[in-house]
Structures are given as C-alpha cells and as structure tokens.
Amino acid sequence: MSVITAWNAHKDQINKLGCDRFAAENGQTLTTLYSKDQWYEDDENNRKKKWSKQNKRNPKRKSNVIHPALQKALWELPHGSTEHVPGKLSICMGMPIMLRHNDATECCMTKGAEGTVAGWQASIGNHGKPMLDTLFVRLSNPPKVVHIEGLPPNVVPITRRSTKTVCKLWNHDIITVSRSQILVLPNFAMTDYSAQGRTRPNNVVELNNCKSHQSYYTCLSRSATADGTVILQGFDSSKITGGASGYFRQEFRELEILDCISKLRYYGNLPIEIDGHRRNTLIHQFQSWKGADHVPVNVHPSIKWSKTHPFIMQEKFDASWHIPKNIKTGKVETEKAKISNTSVTAKGSIPVYQIQENLHVAKKHKLEELDNVISKKPKNSIHMQML
C-alpha cells in the first residue's frame, strides 16, 4: 500500500526509494525512460516569431531545442517541481503506479487510478535516450472488468502525450516546456490531497508533517477499519487537541444559525421579516429577533456561545446586483464609463482606463515609427518583395 504523506517533496523521495527497493526485492533491474522536452511557445510567442521572420529580425529563440545541460537538469528535477509530469521514469515489471490523466474513462483509465506495470514499448529519442511509447498497465480493482482486444483482462495501454509543463529549477528559476511523456507516477506514496475520496482496507499514513487538523482527518479517514490503519511515526498531537481557531469556530457557529433558519423556514415558523439574501444579513436579522445570546438546540458544546464567550453580532450588509447600462443607448457601459461613474480618482493618480489608452497610443506610435523605418529600406528587401 502506498503511504499517505503531506508534502510532495516527501512523496517524491518515498517513491524514489520505493522503486529501488521494489526492484531489489523482486530481483529486477530498473529501466529508466526519459521525456522529450522542448521550449513551449504559446500563440503570442508564435505571432511574435512570425512577425520577426517577416521583418528579418531574430526571435527570442532561434529554435525550440533545449540546451543539453538544461535538459539534464530538467530530467533530474523531482516530480513535484514539474507539475507531476515526470522527466524520467524508472520502472520494472509489476511495479505499482498511478495514472495522472483521464485517458479513457469508459476503460477506467482515469486520473488517480492505481495499477501495476504489465509491459512497455520504448524507442530511442532524438536526445539518444530511451523514451516510452506505450505503457501497459494492469488496473487494480477497477469498477468494471476492462477487456481490450489483444490484451489480458484489466490491462490497458497508456500512450505518450505532449503537456505544457511549468518547471521550477533548483535556483528558483521557472521555465515552461512542452513535455512529451506518459502521464503516470510510481505509487509508493501519495499526498493527502490525492488521497481524498479513497477507501483503503490497509491505510498507511505518515502524520508527522501534516499541516492542520484537516490534513489529519483526510489521512485517517481513508481507513476502512481501525485495525487496517498503520501510523508510521509520531506526530504533533497539538494540531488535533489544541482547539479550533477563532475563525474556524465562528464559521461553525454561523452554519449552526443558518441551519436553524432553514428548519424554521421549512416548518413555516420563521418571521417574514427575516428575508436577507446574504449570510451576514440573515444572521443579523435572526440575532435581532432571538437575541445575540440565543443558542439553537443540538449545538455541540465545543462551539456553544454565551455571555462569557459571546457570538459577535454581524454587521448588516446587503447589496443588490445589477449590470450598469447606458440610459440613452441601453447598452452595457464601457470600462471607462463604469470607472468614471462608480469611483473617484485619488489625487495625483491616473485612472486605469487612461493608462490603457496611453499604452494603446504608445503601441500605435511604435508601429508607425516602425513603418517609417521599413518604408526607407531598399526596394529589393524581403519585406518589399512580400508586399
């Protein structure tokens, strides 16, 4: 069973150690397969590159090929630093893995699905390293039996796909690449976030680094039984015994009052004047009716309020929503009109719409100046030939 932990850094390290141990215990050798990376270019960069080519100006990058030294650094990054799109995968037969993309929901190939390696097909990429082309995964306890022609039951093929990936380098630089890789990860550990919604007969948890009591709850509530729960090491008990914070306790108190309001309205016992359209308005009206010290029935003792521990009266605030329209034309107002009608510019500052207009004018001037420069070029230039 994979270990539930709190931090991606710990998950990545447990997965790395788990791969080495699994291969050693099963007498196998890990096969490392690499991704194919190139610089990612969005539509804006493509437009700039096309314009630069037409005007004989060098773009920011002459090609989308990544320098070998940078490529090596990208491969060595932990999976948590590359949005869980692995730069390299070390796998062997039977190793537990987790799918990271909804490839085919009708075949139970969904994000978070668990399975084991049943085989793979690989080839040598342009960088001279082996790359995964297809990974065959034997699904673990799928909702239904999956049978694809030519493959054993519950064995599905996962193919490589290109993904926009934001990579955080060791020197804190952030770059964006287009990464071609099969979207799976070793499944010796998962974070508490990824574990949500699962029910596990054997639940192995590492609670020492959980950030809050919500994280403790998520980890421990994955267990089907108390006997199947395994806590790996000690943990900070103050996070689950120190009492709720003021804001958290206030949230539960407000929910109790809203629950009481809903019941009274359902049974027709709510006064007609309690008709607010916002949470704070409803609570203010209820407290004005019942009094600030009134506590609904069945409120848990840990969040009950009294004169010594009062429930602070909420400030009444209720605003109506509308889309501003021009009285003469009946059309929705422009951004400039909305700002000028609803706000007052601080002394010495410039309105947002005026900044946008100035930028627009500045861009126009730059393009006009560029046209003047281009028009002075010789007639045999590439630009003139294209015209």
Domain that holds residue 251: 246-303
Residue type at 105 in one-letter notation: T
Interval 14-31: pLDDT, tens: 999 999 999 999 999 999
Neighbours of 256 (CB within 10 A): 20
Q: In sequence order, what E strands does the chain have?
A: 3-5, 31-34, 36-39, 88-91, 96-99, 114-124, 130-139, 155-159, 161-168, 174-181, 184-186, 189-191, 203-205, 229-231
Please tell me the predicted confidence (pLDDT) of residue 295.
Answer: 93
Domain endpoint, select from 165, 187, 209: 187
Do residue 34 and residue 177 come from a single domain?
yes
Burial per residue of 215-231, b for 16 or more beta-carbon CB atoms within 10 angstroms, e otherwise: bbebbbebbeeeeebee
Interval 259-286: pLDDT, tens: 999 999 999 999 999 988 888 888 989 9
In this structure, what token pair is assigned to residue 281? 């308005």
Interval 186-232: pLDDT, tens: 999 999 999 998 999 999 999 999 988 889 999 999 999 999 999 99
Do residue 250 and residue 144 come from a single domain?
no
Q: Is residue 322 part of a domain?
A: no
Neighbours of 283 (CB within 10 A): 21
Query: With a threshold of 0.85, does the pTM exceed it?
Result: no
Q: Is residue 183 part of a domain?
A: yes
Q: Give the model's confidence band at 146: pLDDT under 50 very low, under 70 low, under 90 confident, else very high.
A: very high
In this structure, what token pair is assigned to residue 183? 């979207």
Helix (H), strand (E), coil (C) string for 11-35:
HHHHHHHHHHHHHHHCCCCCEEEEC
CA dihedral sign, ordered 160, 162, 166, 168: positive
* Domain count across the chain: 2
Q: How would you class 282 by CB atoms within 10 Å of its CB: exposed for 0-12, middle for 13-18, buried for 19 or more? A: buried
Do residue 76 and residue 145 come from a single domain?
yes
Q: Is residue 69 part of a domain?
A: yes
**Rounded to whole angstroms, how far apart are CA atoms 40 and 319?**
45
Q: Is residue 139 part of a domain?
A: yes
* Long-range own/partner contacts, residues 68-76 (CB < 8 A, 24 or more apart): 68/127, 71/37, 71/127, 73/169, 73/170, 74/37, 74/167, 74/169, 74/177, 75/34, 75/35
**Rounded to whole angstroms, how far apart are CA atoms 269 and 275?**
13
Please tell me the predicted confidence (pLDDT) of residue 186.
Answer: 96
